[in-house]
Structure formats: structure tokens, C-alpha cells
A and B are shown apart, each in its own frame.
Chain A
Amino acid sequence: MASSDAPAPEVRAAARGVAPPGVPWRLVRYTLGRLTAVFITTVIGVYLTILIANMGGHVDEIRRATIRESLAISVGMAPEFQHLTPAERRQLVEELAAVQYKRLGLDQPFLIRSFRYLANALTLNLGRAEQLTSDSGSSQVRLILLERLAPTLLLTATSFLILFFVSLFVALGLSRRYGSFLDRLSVALAPLSAGPPWFYGIFLILIFAAVLRWLPFGGMVEAPPPPTPGAYFLSLMKHMILPVSSIVLSSLFIGIYSWRTFFLIYSTEDYVDMARAKGLPARAIEGRYILRPSLPFIVTSFALSVIGLWGGSIILEQVFNWPGLGRLFYQATQVFDTPIIVGNTIIYAYLLAITVFVLDFVYALVDPRIKVGAEGRWP
């Protein structure tokens, strides 16, 4: 991943001509360092997830009981075992179960098994679901999860992008009009962000779907799906409006408030006054003296809020009937489909890890310390 991602910023840094020689190498080293760190933390995180999921061997108990039960049924039903006494039959079930345990590795101590689970989880070899299947009919957990990944990514990526750029530009605009009515309004609205996305989703559904009947209650496309790609796209857009708006609404005001405060603090620095005194145009001051130095902090705060939003999107999907990972999670908890629950948790760990890594990478692009090499954050 590092090799495919790294060249782009090198080229860009070189093309801009701001970087002294040796910078690309530093960027690559930083990226590789972060990648290793994120990988190690992901492995530990996934392992912890497995430990919690298997706490006290609960999951194994369930699996053992399931195996024994299905064997008992098949032995009881089979005509060739009719002549056996109940005791003999029970012994036969135990013998067959022992073979199954051995086959599934359930006879080994938990420590060894946990590492096997870890290896399986890391390679997304997540086994078979107990009840749920993918839309194509497979019960492979990996296929089920991959099928649901795309809608989740579509929803969250769209919301995050809108959230980032809208907050950024509105905050910049407000810091320019400090003290105006809009500015005070945004400060007054900031406490609204106390609610999670699904909470605003309920209100939006109430207004736009239940009362006004303008937009659909939920789902990703109309049923049946429109035949032409154009109509499909339009229907998708229509269904995305409410969920995306709820994510954006839930974090927009707090983002605007805190970033505007950041910009205000930076615009009172002496060098900004100096630039103003020199008569530089407002755009240049904003871009070069206010936005540029505050960008690393903005990226960090955005990263933290995105990480919080991943969790929130689970329920949002449930509220909006969005066929993504979150809704799958809910469905799996309803029928106690353990492999899917565990697999889903692991997928979320991966998504968080990728988010952290991507944002770290963006951070590296905007943080001058890494480019100029005063001090790298890692290693």
C-alpha cells in the first residue's frame, strides 16, 4: 500500500518546488513508519476483539453445543441407528462430536486457538455465517461483509467529504465576519451537536418523509431498482439525501464552531498583523497565514470526529434501512449470528485503521515538520 501511495506526494512536493532535497525519502520513511505502527495496533486491536468475543470460551461453548445438537438429531433420525440403546446412542454422539471438535480445532487450548482466530481474522477468513446469507446466497462471512461494505463506504465517504469542506469554508467565512449575526448563530447552534447522527435522522425522517412525503423513509434505491443506470443513480441520490444530511447535521455545528475559534486564534497572531500591515490581499493572508498553519490541527480534530462517526453510522444505517455493514450488524445481533458479529467488529477495526492511516498520511502532507524534517512524529 505504501509503495502505491507514496509517489504521488513526492511528485507533488517536488513540482511545487518548496521541498528541499531528501524530503520524499523522509515522507516515505514517515509513511512506512506509520503503516507499521497502524498495522501493529490493528493486530492488537483485532486480537483484543477476538478475546472479548471469545471471553471465557463462550463462543466455543455455543459452537460445541450446536455441533452436539445437530449430531444428536442426525443420529436420532437415522434408521441404521434405531436398534441402539439411548446410552449407546449418546456415546456415539460424543464420539462423532469429538471428531468434529478435532476437525474444527476446538480440542486445543484457547491460547493456540485465539492465535489461529487472529490469523484467520487478519486474512478475512471469517468462516461461515450461521443464519444470514449474502444477497447472492453465499453464507461466507467474508462475502456477506464485502457485499455490504460498498453502501457503507458510499454513505460515510460522501458525508465525511461534505462535512470537511462545508465546515472548513463556513468556518473561514465566519472568522472573517467575526461578531456578525451568522457568527453568533453558529456559536449558539454548536450545542446541537450533542446528538448522534441517528437522532437527527429520526427528526429528518419525521419532517421530510412522514409529514411532507418528499423523500423516502429509508432504503438505498427504490424497489424494484430502476433499470437504467441514470435512473438508478437518481434514485440512489434521492435516498442518500436524508442519511447524509443527518451525519452532516450531527457534527457540522461543532466543527464550524471549533474551527472558527481556531482561525480566530490564528488570525490574532503578530505575523498576520504584519502581513496586513504590508497590505497583502485578504485571500493571501487567509490561505497562507491562517489556514496553512492551522491545517494540521484541523486534520487531527477532523480525524477524531470521523473515528467517532464510524460508530454512529451503525445505528444510522439501521434507522434508514441502509443495506450496509451497520444494518448487517443489527440483523446479526437479532439472530445471534456470532461469526458475523465477530467478523463485522473486525471489519470496523480495519476501517478505523485505514481511516487513521489515511488521515495520518494527509497530516504528513500538511504538517511542515515532517516535510522540513524538524522532528518526525514517528518513529
Chain B
Amino acid sequence: MSGFKRSLHLLVQYPSAALGLAIILLLAALAIYAVLSMPLAEAVRLWRAGEGVWQDTPRNAAPAWLNGLRREKLPVTQVFDSRLQPESKTVHLLGDGLAEVRIVFPVDYRYDGFPQEVAVFVTARFQQARPHAAMYWITPDGREIPVADSSLRSTETFRLSQDARLTRRLRGQPAEVGLLADPNAPDLRPLKGIHQLVIDGLVFEEGADIDAKLVVYGQLHGWAGTDHQRRDITVALLWGTPIALLMGLAAAVGATLSTMLIAAIGAWYGGWVDGLIQRITELHLILPVLPILIMVGTLYNRSLVVIIGLFVLLSVFSGGIKTYRAMFLQVKASPYIEAARAYGASHLRIVFRYMVPRVLPVLLPQFVTLIPSFVFLEATLAVLGLGDPLLPTWGRVLWEAWGNGALFNGHYYWVLAPSALLLLTGLGFSMLGFTLDRVFNPRLRGM
């Protein structure tokens, strides 16, 4: 343990290693937070985005913290629900089952930009006779704009922004602009103050009722914004962290350990075993690993575990074997191995107990540098559309951003957030790995 402490102390003296370690710890903390704050099943459910999961979030909205950098504040989403705010609903019984239901949502609008969309979701409870509802928008300066007037089914959605008749009534402006715009301003700008949506409902039966939800979709949302399917990208960024770290770690352990063991066995037994391993290594150079992965992903299975497992399997005989072999050949000639032979240790005992442990510290840097390459491999496969169909990962976010022209349409946040996390992971591990290499490789020390 003191040896570990000493090497840690030695490492921290290198600024790049300290920075790398800090980044890795930060990512680990993020991963732990993700796992604790949301179970995987919930993350997958949110990411699969079934009916109604992301009803209240805007489409392609930038992160909300951008408002801190802007002089002209852009709106964030405001949601009003008469079931959650019972004070917004008043019921007048008129007798004979007839009742007036009045729902008033006060929209306190203080932003400099217009919302992305305005929608009203109405649910009605009734047996036979369909209730009726009329909606008005009352601006702070007292204008009253009729918005909708219809009899209701059990669920009814009024996407005001897509209502062509309303747009015509607002002189060609879509609802989110026409309802909120200041009529006296020379340019188009929202009228700040308390707007009101009034829903005047009429129910015709005993026990019938109306509830409504008004969503004024903002242009900004959450920590990371939303994508084209209204999903909050934060979910994928958060849960992508443990997935990326776990996968990188597991795959790197699998790849380095198996490669090293095979190199050790080849170096120890020599002869035809060694020759065979060397030939397979040469064969591996010619095997198009990524195309094979893509082929398997297309034809058989897209599960991340299968693809990464196959990649580890295919990279067992990678070029690294030659490096390890050279090290093991040196170790093989050292006197303590001879001593082990003298007391009659078996071949496997020598390989596992004496040769492998000796080389492990030298392999640590390579192992650490290998982790980000697996994290990027996931992203690579995802960018090719072969990502795991269920899991929310950074690569999938990137792929979807790419496929939907995020850069072309100026949704930079959509690409930047997952890339920044990928880059951070890559930098963190490789900075640490490089320094470890310099510490453990005496020839490189001081260079």
C-alpha cells in the first residue's frame, strides 16, 4: 500500500497526471451521480421516449444556462396544469347536471424572445354529452383574442402554433408570436407582463369535468438542451458516463489481460506455440476489424456487450503482443525464474505467478491509454448507426445530431456536449497514461 501511495505521490508531481486524474475522478463522480439519481430502466424508458414522455419539453432547444451569457433572455418552458394547480379552476353548478368550468392560467412572460410553440392539452370526463370549451387569450394590455372554440373528446390537443385559422386571425403570425407580440412596438417583440389563457367550459352531465394543461414551449431547456424528439439530452449525457467508463474499463481489462497472457504463454513455451502466435498476430494485421464489427452489427446483433466482446476477441492478437513478448523474453531469462524452475514450479505457475505479475506495472500505462479508445469505439459504432438500440450513450446523441443536420442548422450544443465529454474522457485517461508511461519507463524519464 505504501508503494501505491508513493507512486501516487510521484504522479501528482506531474501536472498533466494530476489534471488527468482530476478529470477521471470528475467523470467517475458524474457516473455515480447518474446511477444513484436514476435507475437504468428509467433512463432507457426516457430515452426510448414513448407516447407522452416528453410532451412538455421543446424541440431542439439549447441549454438553459445560455441565458446567463445573453443580454436578451430567451424563454424557458412554462407549464400550467389545472390538475396540479386546483386554484386555477372554478366550477359553477347551474343545476340539472349543467356546470360552467372556468380555467385561468396566468402566464408571467418576462423574456425578450418568443416561445417556440404554444399548445393546450384538454382532457374531458363525460358519459354521453361532449362538453364544450371556448378559449381566450387575454394580453396584459387587455386585448381578448379568441383562440379556440369546440366541443371536446376525452382528450383533445390544441397545437395553437399549427392552427391555420388562428394564424390568419393573427394577421399571418403563428400563435406563439401573434399572441405575445407587442402591437405598439416598431419591431417584433413580446409584450412583457401577465398574459392569461382563459378556458370557458360547459359540461352537460352530472360528474362531468374538464381539465387542461397549457404548455408555452421555451427556446431553452435544462442543462444540455433537447433533441429533435423533445428528449432532454441531459439523460443521455448523464447515463452515457457510467456506460462509457464501464465499457472502456471492462474492454481494456479484457483486451490487455488476454493479450498479455497469450504473449506470456508464447514467450514461455517458445517453439511452435510462439511461432503460431506470431503468425496469428500477422494475420490480425490483415483482418479488417472494424468492417467485421460493422458486418456483425448489421447482420446479427447490435447489443453493445456483444459488439465490444467481439472487438476484444478480435483484438486479442493485436500488435501489442510483440511488445509484451519482448518484455517477457527478458523476464524469462532472469535468475528468479530459474530459481522457480529449480524448485519444480509448473509451467502455468511460472507464467501466472512469476512472469505476469512482473510485467503488470509496465503494462499499466498502456492499459490506461487503451480505455478511451474503447469509449471512442462505442461512439464510432454509434456514428455508423450501429449503436446499442436501447442504451442512452454519448455516441448515440452524436449520431442523432449528425443525422438531423445539427451543425448545418446551427444546433451546436447538440454536438458539442457529447463531444466535450468524449474529449474529456479521452484526454483524462491518455494524460494519465502518458505520464504513467514516463514514470514506469526509465528510458523515457525526463524526456
Residues of A near any B CB (own CB < 8 A): 37-38, 41-42, 44-45, 48-49, 52-53, 55, 58-59, 178, 187-188, 190-196, 198-199, 202-203, 205-206, 209-210, 217, 261, 264-265, 304, 307, 310-312, 314-315, 318-319, 329-330, 333-334, 336, 338, 341-342, 344-345, 348-349, 351-353, 356
Provide the bound-state CA to CA distance between A318 and B294, in Å.
13
Task: List 8 contacting pairs A-B, 8 Å CB cutoff, sorted by A.
Answer: A41-B285, A52-B295, A191-B434, A194-B426, A199-B376, A206-B412, A217-B407, A341-B294
For B430, the closest partner residue in chain A by CB is A191
Query: Is B214 in contact with chain A by the CB < 8 A criterion?
Result: no
Query: Which of B279, B289, B295 gathers most chain A CB within 10 Å?
Result: B295
Q: Is the CB of A203 within 8 A of B295?
A: no
For B376, the closest partner residue in chain A by CB is A196
* Residues of B contacting A318 in the complex (Cβ-Cβ under 8 angstroms): 383-384
Provide the bound-state CA to CA distance between A49 and B398, in Å.
29
* Residues of A contacting B427 in the complex (Cβ-Cβ under 8 angstroms): 191-192, 194
Provide the bound-state CA to CA distance between A329 and B287, in Å.
16
For B283, the closest partner residue in chain A by CB is A41
A191-B426, A315-B383 given. 17 additional CB < 8 A pairs?
A45-B288, A49-B295, A58-B299, A187-B434, A190-B434, A196-B376, A199-B419, A199-B423, A202-B398, A206-B416, A261-B447, A315-B380, A315-B384, A329-B291, A351-B288, A352-B286, A356-B285
Minimum-distance CB pairs A-B, first 3: A194-B426, A311-B290, A348-B288
Q: Is the CB of B298 within 8 A of A344?
A: no
Provide the bound-state CA to CA distance between A59 and B296, in Å.
11
Q: Is the CB of A265 within 8 A of B422?
A: no
Provide the bound-state CA to CA distance between A58 and B416, in Å.
40
Query: Which of B16, B298, B422 gathers most chain A CB within 10 Å?
Result: B298
Given contacts A265-B443, A333-B298, A333-B386, contact A206 B426 (CB under 8 A): no
Q: Is the CB of A314 within 8 A of B291?
A: yes
Q: Is the CB of A194 within 8 A of B408?
A: no
Q: Is the CB of A196 within 8 A of B380?
A: yes
Q: Is the CB of A345 within 8 A of B430?
A: no
* Residues of A contacting B376 in the complex (Cβ-Cβ under 8 angstroms): 194-196, 199
**B 336-383 contacts with A by CB, 8 A:** 369, 372-373, 376, 379-380, 383
Q: Is the CB of A55 within 8 A of B380?
A: no
Provide the bound-state CA to CA distance between A80 and B76, in Å.
67
Query: Is B309 in contact with chain A by the CB < 8 A criterion?
Result: no
Number of A-B contacts (CB under 8 A): 146
* Residues of B contacting A59 in the complex (Cβ-Cβ under 8 angstroms): 299
* Residues of B contacting A307 in the complex (Cβ-Cβ under 8 angstroms): 285
Query: Is B444 in contact with chain A by the CB < 8 A criterion?
Result: yes
Query: Which of A190, A196, A209 gathers most chain B CB within 10 Å?
Result: A196
* Residues of A contacting B291 in the complex (Cβ-Cβ under 8 angstroms): 311, 314, 329, 344-345, 348
A198 partner, pick from B369, B380, B447, beta carbons under 8 A:
B380
Q: Is the CB of A310 within 8 A of B288?
A: yes
B262-303, CB under 8 A of A: which get 1 and which 0? 000000000000000001001101111111101111111000
Query: Which of B282, B297, B402, B427 gathers most chain A CB within 10 Å?
Result: B282
For B386, the closest partner residue in chain A by CB is A333
Provide the bound-state CA to CA distance between A119 and B299, in Å.
22
Q: Is the CB of A42 within 8 A of B298?
A: no
* Residues of A contacting B285 in the complex (Cβ-Cβ under 8 angstroms): 41, 307, 352, 356
Query: Is B217 in contact with chain A by the CB < 8 A criterion?
Result: no
Q: Is the CB of B373 within 8 A of A205?
A: no
Q: Is the CB of A199 within 8 A of B379?
A: yes
Query: Is B415 in contact with chain A by the CB < 8 A criterion?
Result: yes
Q: Is the CB of A41 within 8 A of B373?
A: no
Provide the bound-state CA to CA distance between A48 and B317, in Å.
15
Interface secondary structure of B, over-half rule: helix
Given contacts A195-B376, A356-B286, contact A210 B419 (CB under 8 A): no
Provide the bound-state CA to CA distance between A191 and B383, in Å.
22
Provide the bound-state CA to CA distance between A344 and B292, in Å.
10
Q: Is the CB of A304 within 8 A of B319?
A: yes
Provide the bound-state CA to CA distance between A52 and B398, in Å.
29
Q: Is the CB of A206 within 8 A of B372?
A: no
**B 416-447 contacts with A by CB, 8 A:** 416, 419, 422-423, 426-427, 429-431, 433-434, 443-444, 447
Given contacts A203-B419, A318-B383, A330-B385, contact A41 B286 (CB under 8 A): yes
For B296, the closest partner residue in chain A by CB is A52
Distance (Å) between the CB of B439 and the closest chain A CB?
14
Q: Is the CB of A349 within 8 A of B300?
A: no
Q: Is the CB of A195 within 8 A of B295?
A: no
Given contacts A194-B376, A304-B319, contact A202 B447 (CB under 8 A): no
Given contacts A37-B282, A202-B419, contact A352 B294 (CB under 8 A): no
* Residues of B contacting A348 in the complex (Cβ-Cβ under 8 angstroms): 288, 291
Given contacts A191-B427, A196-B376, A203-B419, contact A333 B294 (CB under 8 A): yes
For A52, the closest partner residue in chain B by CB is B292
Q: Is the CB of A217 within 8 A of B292?
A: no
Distance (Å) between the CB of A14 and the closest chain B CB?
31
Q: Is the CB of A210 within 8 A of B290?
A: no
Q: Is the CB of B286 within 8 A of A210?
A: no
Provide the bound-state CA to CA distance between A193 and B373, in Å.
10
Query: Is B410 in contact with chain A by the CB < 8 A criterion?
Result: yes
Given contacts A41-B282, A194-B430, A206-B407, contact A314 B290 (CB under 8 A): yes
* Residues of A contacting B447 in the complex (Cβ-Cβ under 8 angstroms): 178, 261, 264-265
B204-240, CB under 8 A of A: which get 1 and which 0? 0000000000000000000000000000000000000
B288 partner, pick from A261, A265, A311, beta carbons under 8 A:
A311
Q: Is the CB of B286 within 8 A of A353?
A: yes
For A378, the closest partner residue in chain B by CB is B282
* Residues of A contacting B298 in the complex (Cβ-Cβ under 8 angstroms): 333, 336, 341
Given contacts A195-B376, A333-B386, contact A311 B286 (CB under 8 A): no
* Residues of A contacting B386 in the complex (Cβ-Cβ under 8 angstroms): 333
Provide the bound-state CA to CA distance between A178 and B290, in Å.
38
Given contacts A45-B283, A210-B408, A265-B443, contact A191 B431 (CB under 8 A): yes
Q: Is the CB of A202 within 8 A of B415?
A: yes
A345 partner, pick from B295, B383, B407, B431, beta carbons under 8 A:
B295
* Residues of B contacting A312 in the complex (Cβ-Cβ under 8 angstroms): 290, 380
Provide the bound-state CA to CA distance between A191 and B419, in Å.
16
Provide the bound-state CA to CA distance between A195 and B424, in Å.
10
* Residues of B contacting A352 in the complex (Cβ-Cβ under 8 angstroms): 285-288
Given contacts A53-B295, A311-B289, A342-B295, contact A193 B430 (CB under 8 A): yes
* Residues of B contacting A261 in the complex (Cβ-Cβ under 8 angstroms): 444, 447
Q: Is the CB of B288 within 8 A of A349?
A: yes
Q: Is the CB of B383 within 8 A of A44?
A: no
Distance (Å) between the CB of A214 and the closest chain B CB?
14
Provide the bound-state CA to CA distance between A235 and B292, in Å.
34
Provide the bound-state CA to CA distance between A333 and B433, in Å.
35
* Residues of A contacting B415 in the complex (Cβ-Cβ under 8 angstroms): 202, 206
Provide the bound-state CA to CA distance between A334 and B423, in Å.
28
Provide the bound-state CA to CA distance between A32 and B296, in Å.
35
* Residues of B contacting A52 in the complex (Cβ-Cβ under 8 angstroms): 292, 295-296
Provide the bound-state CA to CA distance between A210 and B414, in Å.
14
Q: Is the CB of B384 within 8 A of A314?
A: yes
Provide the bound-state CA to CA distance between A206 and B429, in Å.
25
